[in-house]
Amino acid sequence: MSDESMHNKPFRCGTVALLGVPNVGKSTLMNYIIGAKVAIVTPKPQTTRHRILGIYSDDNRQIIFVDTPGIHKGSKQLNKNMVRVAYAAAEEADVLAIMQDASKPLDRPTRVLIERFADGRLKQPRIHVLNKVDRADKARLLPRLQQLQQLDPGAMSYVPVSARKGTQVDALLNELAKHLPAQAPLHDPDWFTDQSQRQLAAEYVREQVFLSMHQEIPFQTAVDIERFEEFDDAIEIEAVILVGSERHKPMLIGKGGGGMKAVGTRARLGLEEILGCKVRLNIWVKVDEDWFDHPGKLMDLGLGTES
């Protein structure tokens, strides 16, 4: 493309909702595009609990990605809030990017999700993103695309990518930008997220808890930042890890406090990298039974929604 045509190209800006069932790679894709770790990533389901903005800007476009919780079924109030957040983001976005894991067979929850968005109730352009193609059987990729086209023939496009390796991500960005409004940027081009440093601190600690723990414990943990104070030489943070059961507390703390020390060290190093300064992080564990099913407590933790 010539310099003149690039100059005449209208600036495009708008929001793209990243949608899908848990663990299809929404956060990994957004982090790769933004070039910074704005959303935590773990192999555990329901790692993303609330709407997270990642802002990509270049000379011709500003794409505001809304990373959403994985759409799933669950009886607890936290589950319901997470799904409500995802659908609200879809309603407000300019473009819907519906993701799936192409390395696994098309399962029923993904199929139901695709059919729900294909029913025409939402009028935004839909782009299907087949992630993890680096791990997929290449012989099955074309039949998978054909199957997807049959499920949602009204979609604008179907783009295979690898969020982990960056394969086809530039092509995806070009496709998304085509469907955004022609308008001036909504955010300063130097911004890459709307999360505060305090929110990032809570998420980085929670990520390490998720990576360290097994079975039901990650879902029953949350992080509350009780103090966040900036000094000339460092940021001091005091964080409380909430657990939903008394029996989980010693499991998280570990023998001789080793579990907590490991969580704190890894979280601190990650925060120092993204915040660009020394971090002094103190964490401890508090039992708060059933916090994940209590609307008031969820609201206090920033995980509540309007009914």
pLDDT value of position 4:
41
More confident residue, 56 or 254: 56
Residues 147, 141: Cα–Cα separation, whole Å: 10
Q: Are residues 171 and 26 in the same domain?
A: yes
**Chain segment 238-270, per-residue pLDDT in tens:** 999 998 889 889 988 989 999 999 999 999 999
**Residue the block writes with tokens 């690898």:** 162
What does the alpha-carbon distance between residue 52 and residue 39 come to, in Å, rounded to a whole number? 7
- Residue 32 — pLDDT band, cuts 50, 70, 90? very high
What average pLDDT does range 35-59 have in this prediction?
81
Read off the CATH number of the domain in which 260 is found: 3.30.300.20
* pLDDT score for 5: 46
The pLDDT of residue 244: 86
Boundaries of domain holding 224 = 197-300
Percent of the chain with pLDDT over 70: 93
Q: In this structure, are 170 and 218 located in the same domain?
A: no
Distance CA 209, CA 48 (A): 13
Q: Rounded mean pLDDT of 31-45?
A: 83
The reply to whether 306 falls in a domain is no
Mean pLDDT value across residues 195-202: 91
- For residue range 145-168, what is the model confidence (pLDDT) as tens digits? 999 999 999 999 999 999 999 999
pLDDT digits (tens, 9 = 90+) for 216-231: 556 788 899 999 999 9
Cβ partners under 8 Å of residue 8, min gap 6 = none
Distance CA 131, CA 123 (A): 24
Q: What is the CATH number of the domain that holds 45?
A: 3.40.50.300
Of the pLDDT bands very low, low, confident and very high (cuts 50, 70, 90), residue 44 is low
What is the per-residue pLDDT for 46?
A: 64
pLDDT tens sequence across 288-297: 888 888 888 7
Give the pLDDT score at 71.
Answer: 79
Q: How confident is the model at residue 1 (pLDDT cuts 50, 70, 90)?
A: very low
Whether 2 shows a pLDDT value over 60: the answer reads: no
Q: What is the pLDDT of residue 135?
A: 93
Same domain, 49 and 150: yes
Residue 35 sits in the same domain as residue 122: yes
Q: How confident is the model at residue 177 (pLDDT cuts 50, 70, 90)?
A: very high
| Distant-in-sequence contacts of 136-140, Cβ < 8 A, 24+ apart | 136/102, 136/103, 137/103
Residue 61 falls within a domain, yes or no?
yes
pLDDT for residue 294: 81
**Mean pLDDT over residues 29-53, rounded?**
81
- Dihedral in degrees, nearest 10, Cα atoms 217, 219, 221, 223: 140
Say yes or no: 69 and 201 in one domain: no
Give residue 224's region: left, alpha or beta (phi > 0; psi -120 to 50): beta
Q: Looking at the domain assignment, is residue 135 inside a domain?
A: yes
For the chain, the domain total comes to 2
User: Is position 184 within any domain?
Assistant: no
Query: Are 27 and 44 a contacting pair, CB within 8 Å?
Result: no
Residue 159 CA to residue 297 CA, distance in Å, equals: 40
Domain annotation covers residue 259: yes
Are residues 54 and 154 located together in one domain of the fold? yes
Per-residue pLDDT, 212? 83
19/167 same-domain check = yes
Q: What are residue 129's DSSP bridge partners?
A: 99, 159
**225 in any annotated domain:** yes
* Maximum pairwise Cα distance, the chain: 66
